[in-house]
Amino acid sequence: MAEIKQVQKPFDNSQNWLSEHASNVTSQTGEDGIIEKIFEIMGTNEEPWCVEFGAWDGKLYSNSYNLLVNKGWHGVMIEANTEKFGELTTTYQNYPKVHCVNRFVQFQSPDSLDDILNETGIPKDFDFLSIDVDGNDYHIWDSLKEHRPRLIVIEFNPSIPNDIVFIQDPNNDLNHGNSLHAMIELGKAKGYELICTTPWNGFFVPKEYFHLFEIEDNSIYRMYNDQPYGTKLFQLYDGTLLIGGNTQLIWHNIPIAADEIQVIPRSVRRFPDKQ
């Protein structure tokens, strides 16, 4: 029987040094500690503001809860789900600086992120934006024209290899996600640079702040190790397809069976040049 195993390539995480400050208050993979370190280096506006959507209940895996509750920031928390919005308002009912908004963020007026934020009085250069909508994250950031946050944390799909640029269709009914490489390209087009990654979040600051973090090389290959979540598909001479690396559907915990992804039936697979 054939043997398949993935040999992990060594990864130098020294350029992604901010990840060493990872810790959680309510965040999922260390974002709270990294955010604190970034603002320790970069500073905040005199009256700091943060924005998060989808905010869910305002606490579970939130990247803003620590800033709002423990640091006293102003905030805009946006959640489309009516039931979760009720929980969100309960979470922040004793925090008058927090604006809870029950809206579905779209790419154009009247429900674009710019439109929603313009109704709150938030500064155009507010301090922190967290984007996590499990699909249209790229398009929401792309649509943001009037506001320029000083730090953006945005979710990407960690199963997509570093060398692939993938942007999901701008469709609210899809939950595909986008590649980190696509986010980096969008960030550069908008004047932002990558300064840190966690397993599925990228941290971006305006390019004028990038030098503060003394990162010599923020290319994707120095900032993110794509091996843990990647699925490797390869071809054998006879047309058989095999998989290595991560061999299960990450968000469903279902194994990926190689015999169910074949293009050519086993009975007719052969090496074309074989005599």
- Dihedral over alpha carbons 53, 89, 76, 41 (to 10 degrees): -90
Q: Enumerate the domain spans of the chain.
A: 14-223, 231-268
**pLDDT confidence of residue 34:** 99
**pLDDT confidence of residue 108:** 84
The answer to whether 6 and 227 have CB atoms below 8 angstroms apart is: yes
> Where is 31: in which H helix or E strand?
helix 31-42
Q: Residue ranges of the alpha helices (H) in 134-258?
A: 137-143, 180-189, 220-223
**pLDDT confidence of residue 54:** 82
The answer to whether 161 and 226 have CB atoms below 8 angstroms apart is: yes
**pLDDT confidence of residue 274:** 72
In angstroms, the CA 98 to CA 83 distance is 18
**pLDDT confidence of residue 275:** 59
Which numeric CATH code is attached to 14-223?
A: 3.40.50.150
**pLDDT confidence of residue 27:** 97
Backbone angles phi, psi at 152, to 5 degrees: -120, 130
Give mean pLDDT in consecutive 10-residue pieces for the chain, a chain of 275 residues: 82 96 98 98 98 91 97 96 96 97 90 95 97 93 98 98 97 95 99 98 99 98 95 95 94 94 94 78
